[in-house]
Amino acid sequence: MPKSNAEEILYQITKELLFKDIGYQDLFAGYLKRLFSFLQTPTFYTCSNTQFQTTNENKIFEKTFAYINSQKRKVTRQDLEDALHYNGNYISRVFQQNTGQSLTVYTRNICLNESARLLLNTTMSTTEIIEKVGFKNKTAFYNQFKAKFGVTPDQYRHPDM
């Protein structure tokens, strides 16, 4: 069976490095240049669209991910069940498998990032923002915001305070 051009070049490179005969460094450099030239030949590479069959779980994950990111507020399992028409525990398990994060942690980060954006880009009060992103407990919001960003919401909005 004949070797491909790349295989032959790699064979020669390996042979030169193993035996180290006189002038092997020059031969090695030459073979290496040939290899790079071979690898740069555009006809060896093609670019085409490939559609892979996605599993039902991948579709559920993609829908869950899109839904959560579009809401920019706390999303409960019940919200997901109503929107996606799947069992909340199943959705949660699929999400955890794909992201390594629980739905709770992920949605909390979405809410906190959205609240940080609103603090910097709107004149909404902190209370309005807390309600908008779906937090029920103001103290919990402040604690989680400070844990994530290292400052309170007011300090985040006015860093010069």
- Would you give the end-to-end CA distance of the chain in angstroms? 76
What is the reported pLDDT for 2? 44
Give me Rg for the CA atoms of the chain.
Answer: 28
Total-model pTM: 0.62
Does the structure show a pLDDT above 90 at 41?
no
Dist. CA 92–CA 99, nearest whole Å:
11
**Would you tell me how many other CB atoms lie within 10 Å of the CB of residue 46?**
6
Question: What is the amino acid identity at position 107?
Answer: T
Dist. CA 38–CA 20, nearest whole Å:
24
The 10s digit of each residue's pLDDT in 51-102 is: 665 678 889 999 999 999 999 899 999 999 999 999 999 999 999 999 999 9
Those residues with Cβ within 8 angstroms of residue 38's Cβ, 6 or more apart along the chain or in another chain = 5, 6, 9, 44
Give me 88's structure tokens. 């909340």
What is the reported pLDDT for 53? 55
Give me 134's structure tokens. 């779906």
The 10s digit of each residue's pLDDT in 95-122 is: 999 999 999 999 999 999 999 999 999 9
How does residue 6 score in pLDDT terms, banded at 50, 70 and 90? confident
Count of alpha carbons within 13 angstroms of residue 75, beta-carbon side:
25
What is the reported pLDDT for 1? 37
